[in-house]
Structure 1
Amino acid sequence: MSRTGENIYRRKDGRWEGRYIKGRQSNGKLHYGYIYSKSFHEVKEKLFLYKMHYKENYLNRRKSNVQSITLEDWALGWLSLQEKKVKPNTYISYESKMKNHLLPIIGDIPLKELTTIELQQAVNELEKGLNPSSLKAVFRVLRTCLNDAVNKEVLLNNPLKKVTFPSENKAQLKAFTAEEQEQIIQAINDEKDLPILFALRTGLRIGEIAGLQWSDIDWNRKILYVRHNAQRIKIKDQEKQSRIVIVPPKTDLSHRVVPLSEELVELLSELKKTSPSDFVFSSKEGPADPRTIRNHFKRLKKLANVSDLPFHALRHSFATRCIEKDVPVTTVSSLLGHKSVKMTLDIYTDSFIRDKREAISKIG
């Protein structure tokens, strides 16, 4: 039988055969599993899914095999390690970018033969279907994967270093105007809408709001501690099913203290009297589903007749109102849990337009 691509062969009977590592025999030799089909593409697609399922078997390839290891083999082993190290949603993002974008076009290339030219061609190919921001995000995952190969002395250097990417036009973050914000607040008349008010008054992310627990609130000091983040993640090996998990906040600086206004303290006190859950905003299963919160917000936007901005715009609106009220940027940065004041300045530069006008006026 003749071989086409990594671990896919054309048999004498005309069918295609795919081979994957299923485990090891008692004597230490590799135990292979096989897939057959009349279609090469069907075998290739199924083979990848089986390799993903048995990816841990690609972790400990013997050094004698390093020369023949493909990028796909290396990536599968790397993913297996990441699954144990990173947050569930981060791992899902890594796996998706590898599975849907990178490995289908460069996975068959032997790792040691991967060149800058081939990677540049991959960038050019993927650029047709991805915007510059998404394209860079895909290749950031590959860069981390290849850096691991460099650190383990499988590669001398990372061939992705000299690859160029299309320029990225950063989309301007939008916030509701002060008038629209007031219209949203006036439209709130249901307990289910409280997460929306909470976002406007605290600047918390939607996952931080959904993950907020009563134990995170200090009633005497009228503050809350951001300690949890509710996220919906896919259930492993079940493409269309997902579940809510509680994970730590996005970054170390996302762990923060946020003061509560008298308005929120009063509303939360009333809510706690009838709350059946450990979570401030809850469902029958536990924390409120971020998807449900977003759906309520869609309804409220129509009712309030405001711009069709995403839920995250409530966080930007909170920051914008702070800046408009001359709150120091260091304080705004701390309230939002940003990693630096520079990040806050970069994001909200247009919110300082009044200060810019005053500066120009003084010079004039």
Structure 2
Amino acid sequence: MTINQHSQTGTNLLQTALAKPYHYRRSGRYYLRLRPQGTAKGFFTLSLRTTDKATAMTISQEILQTLKAYHFDNPEATWDELRERLIDIAEHSLTMAFGDSSLVAYEMINDEHHQALREASAKMPLSVNQQRAVSKALEIIEASQDRMKGRPGKLVEIVRDLKGESCSTSVALTPSLSVLQIQPMTFKTLSGLYMEERKDSIQASTMRDVKSTCDVIGAILGDLDLKNHSRDDMRNLRAKLLEERKPSTVRKILTRLSTVMDWGVNNDYISKALTDGLKPTKGVDSAREAFSQDQVKALMTHAKTLPVDSWQRWALSLGVITGTRIEELRQLTKADVKQVGDVWIIDINRDDGKTAKTKNALRVIPLTDGAYGFDLQAFRGFVEKVDSKLFKLGVGQFSGLLNGMLRDVLDLKADRTQTFHSLRHSLAGAMKAAEVPVGTAESILGHASGSISYDLYGAGSGVEVGRMAEALKVAFAV
């Protein structure tokens, strides 16, 4: 989360206790503002990077616990005091039990903590002991991410070292700039610098994908100094990636590698990239598989067994009949379900702080009554009863529960070959089989070069929506 510190003359944020936190919303996103007690000055603001209130409050509480843990309101804190807090945090991270949904949520929260602490270290006037604690905390967070992937070794070692450390251990001074300059430039370090610079221009959902991909690369390259790497190092990386992954997946990972490495060259962190021509060209078809018609019918049969007021019923049904991306679906509001002429549609837009993958993703999609048994009237009844958002869950929980339901209903393997996103491929296949014109199919899926969302009620909009509605009826054979 971004920290904007506004220190005023004579006011040091860290010399007094913090006042009650203040939350506010701007352009749909939630923010947390902190300030010293007894003054309106010297505050700093943290973006919570979400438009969902429940998610914002969860992340906010985690942030406040983090601030408390590092005595950010007490620059006189001793290393022993901070070390005890670090032990508590590390042990909690090591022993905490997780479910599938909480694993996803805490991975996101840990990412936010890691970034917040790095920015605090860079921008806030912390004491030497506090800086030392932040440095160790970053190690704990990174080890916690490994532990949630079933690799607890690093976290166990950190707990052991903290508990075994003598109370008289001297405080290590911050290394000089000249020392930092001669340190090796690992991919983990380089990608961290890249993500830090791009954090304000990349959407949170995309940034999570960037981090995940960079973590994969960093784990293989390890301590390799990119200031002195060779073409063989890059070939070995590709070979290691291909051992357990499909060529299409490796191609995407190496595309990210090339982006980060080129950025490193352009910003003078490294002198060469050596990634040209590295991506595999054979077997790079998409690893994502569409659901068969029998699978789609089984999903809709299951959906219809759920109560009419169940969000799962309508999330699954809309995925089947509209081919929306999962985050497009999660952000839908009551106002996004509307009628154009005689056709009911959902409107994918950026109103009220909602996000969209690209400008072309902004579109309207007709709702096809009767498609696989979809009950439009029952869905409208569900929409009427909600206050605003159709689905109340945060990103990780919404995705985790929906994909978990797909796996349970269809007895799928957890290899991401078939996921909620596969419903888009299924709809695309159905339209292709029905010989729907490419331009119409692109408009429905959000791949077209233009969008009618900007002119929803303009001249010809009814004709455009009607054309898409008829195409979907043909594809679904309604």
**TM-score normalized with structure 2 length:** 0.47
1:266 equivalenced with 2:373 (yes/no):
no
Aligned residue in 1 for 2:438 = 329
Change in 2 beyond 3 A, CA 1:250/1:271 = same
1:210 equivalenced with 2:326 (yes/no):
no
1:90 to 191, 206, 213: 206
Q: CA deviation at 1:199?
A: 2.2
Aligned residue in 1 for 2:17 = none
1:143 to 258, 266, 290: 258
Q: CA deviation at 1:335?
A: 0.5
2:237 to 101, 116, 122: 122
Aligned residue in 2 for 1:280 = 390
Q: What are the within-5 Å matches in structure 2 for residues 158-307 of structure 1?
A: 158-163=273-278, 165=280, 167-170=282-285, 171=287, 173-177=289-293, 181-182=296-297, 184-187=299-302, 188-190=304-306, 191=308, 192=310, 193-221=313-341, 222-227=344-349, 248-262=355-369, 265-275=376-386, 277-282=387-392, 289-298=398-407, 300-301=409-410
The question of whether the paired residues in 1 share the 8 Å contact of 2:347 and 2:365 is answered with yes
The question of whether the paired residues in 2 share the 8 Å contact of 1:67 and 1:112 is answered with no
Q: CA deviation at 1:65?
A: 6.5
The question of whether the paired residues in 1 share the 8 Å contact of 2:334 and 2:384 is answered with no
Gapped regions of structure 2 (runs ≥ 5): 1-117, 140-152, 159-175, 412-416, 451-478
Aligned residue in 1 for 2:87 = none
Change in 2 beyond 3 A, CA 1:124/1:186 = closer
Change in 2 beyond 3 A, CA 1:320/1:122 = closer
Q: Name the aligned partner's letter for residue 274 of structure 1.
A: K
- CA offset digits 1:138-185 (Å, max 9, x no partner): 3322211111123234555432124364733424733322x6645554
Change in 2 beyond 3 A, CA 1:141/1:331 = same
- CA offset digits 1:299-351 (Å, max 9, x no partner): 5557xxxxx9543343333223323333212111110112679xxxxxxxxxx
Q: CA deviation at 1:100?
A: 4.1
Considering fraction of residues, name the structure with more strand.
1
Aligned residue in 1 for 2:197 = 81
Aligned residue in 1 for 2:217 = 101
**TM-score normalized with structure 1 length:** 0.60
Q: For 1:153 and 1:64, how far apart are their aligned partners in 2? A: 17
Structure 1 ranges of 4+ moved more than 6 A: 61-65, 285-288
Aligned residue in 2 for 1:133 = 248
Q: CA deviation at 1:69?
A: 5.0
Gapped regions of structure 1 (runs ≥ 5): 1-20, 47-60, 230-245, 303-307, 342-364
Count of matched residue pairs: 274
Give the share of equivalent positions with the same residue, in percent.
Answer: 16
For 1:127, what is the secondary structure of its paired residue? helix
The question of whether the paired residues in 1 share the 8 Å contact of 2:295 and 2:410 is answered with no
Q: CA deviation at 1:278?
A: 1.1
Aligned residue in 2 for 1:319 = 428
For 1:207, what is the secondary structure of its paired residue? helix
